[in-house]
Structure 1
């Protein structure tokens, strides 16, 4: 699907908004700083389990394990993030 410049700008802005929402949720669930959460998220294209990397990195930074509830909330937030990103092309096409 080829996007118009307006649609491409929409996708880019929405992607940033979705990713920022995920970062904010992880911060509120864990008490980690923005920098800690950003460091925990693997670079795009890295062949690694995203959530396992986030969990281990935040646990290391906070010097303690995350609770099962915290992990479940982060897992749910990541699911919402993925679904929102999947829905973006259809939203852009309707603009």
Structure 2
């Protein structure tokens, strides 16, 4: 399903943070951010879906296993270059 997108339609999704749910009995959202004015870049893939003369674009964030749950795959500057490089597919 995503094989072609992973090979040919990679992108970066900029964000200023994301929520991680914590707690055992009662889950609570915690906002994780790199700090004021800084940005995170998530690895993502995209797809275009033609429907009745229109093209709809869709994006999916790539996740990684974390200590207790999944979280976005956050890329540093070198990771961003590697993710977008055509020869790393």
TM-score range, shorter chain: under 0.3
What is the TM-score with the length of structure 1 in the denominator? 0.25
Higher-helix-fraction structure: 1
Higher-strand-fraction structure: 2
